[in-house]
Amino acid sequence: MEEIRLYNLKRQFEAIKEDVFTALNQIATRQEFTLGPWVEKFEKEFADYIGTTHAVGVNSGTDALFFSLQALGIGEGDEVITVPNSYIATALAVIYCRAKPVFVDIDPLTYNMDVENIKEKINNKTKAIIPVHLYGRPCNLDPIMDIAQDHELFVIEDACQAHGALYKGKKVGSFGDTGCFSFYPGKNLGAYGDGGMVTSNVRKIFDHVSSVRNYGRKEKNLMGGIGYNSRLDAIQAAVLSIKLKRLDEWNAKRAELSRFYHDNLSDLDEYLYLPTLTPIPNLKDDNAESGTTHVWHLYEIQVNPKYNPDDLNRFLDKNGIHAERHYPIPIHLQPSMRFLGYRKGDFPVTEQLAERCIDLPLCPYTTFDEARYVVDKLEEFFL
pLDDT tier at 323, thresholds 50, 70, 90: very high
Assigned domain for 4 exists: no
Q: How far apart are CA 201 and CA 36, in angstroms?
A: 22
Q: How far apart are CA 38 and CA 27, in angstroms?
A: 8
pLDDT digits (tens, 9 = 90+) for 1-22: 689 998 899 999 999 999 999 9
109 and 232 co-located in one domain: yes
272 and 235 co-located in one domain: no
Assigned domain for 23 exists: yes
**Average per-residue pLDDT in the chain?**
94
Assigned domain for 96 exists: yes
253 and 214 co-located in one domain: no
240 and 273 co-located in one domain: no
3-state helix, strand, coil in the chain (%, to 5): 45, 15, 40
Mark which of 222, 244, 266 sits at the end of a domain: 244
118 and 191 co-located in one domain: yes
Assigned domain for 98 exists: yes
Mark which of 244, 259, 281 sits at the end of a domain: 244
pLDDT digits (tens, 9 = 90+) for 100-124: 999 999 999 999 999 999 999 999 9
230 and 271 co-located in one domain: no
Assigned domain for 43 exists: yes
The domain that holds 206 is classified in CATH as 3.40.640.10
Task: Give the list of residues 6+ apart from residue 143 with CB closer than 8 angstroms, or none.
Answer: 115
Task: Specify the pairing of strand 299-303 against strand 272-273.
Answer: antiparallel
**Overall domain count for the chain:** 2
Mark which of 187, 210, 244 sits at the end of a domain: 244
pLDDT tier at 161, thresholds 50, 70, 90: very high
87 and 225 co-located in one domain: yes
259 and 336 co-located in one domain: yes
133 and 84 co-located in one domain: yes
Task: Give the list of residues 6+ apart from residue 212 with CB closer than 8 angstroms, or none.
Answer: 67, 70, 71, 225, 226, 227, 228, 230
pLDDT digits (tens, 9 = 90+) for 244-264: 999 999 999 999 999 999 999
239 and 261 co-located in one domain: no
Assigned domain for 273 exists: yes
pLDDT digits (tens, 9 = 90+) for 211-232: 999 988 776 667 667 889 999 9
Which domain range does residue 341 map to?
247-382
Q: Look at residue 286 and tell me whether its pLDDT is greater than 70.
A: no
Assigned domain for 225 exists: yes
Is this model's pTM higher than 0.85 or not?
A: yes
The domain that holds 344 is classified in CATH as 3.90.1150.10
Assigned domain for 1 exists: no
Instruction: Give the bridge partners for 359, in sequence order.
Output: 300, 324
267 and 239 co-located in one domain: no
142 and 155 co-located in one domain: yes
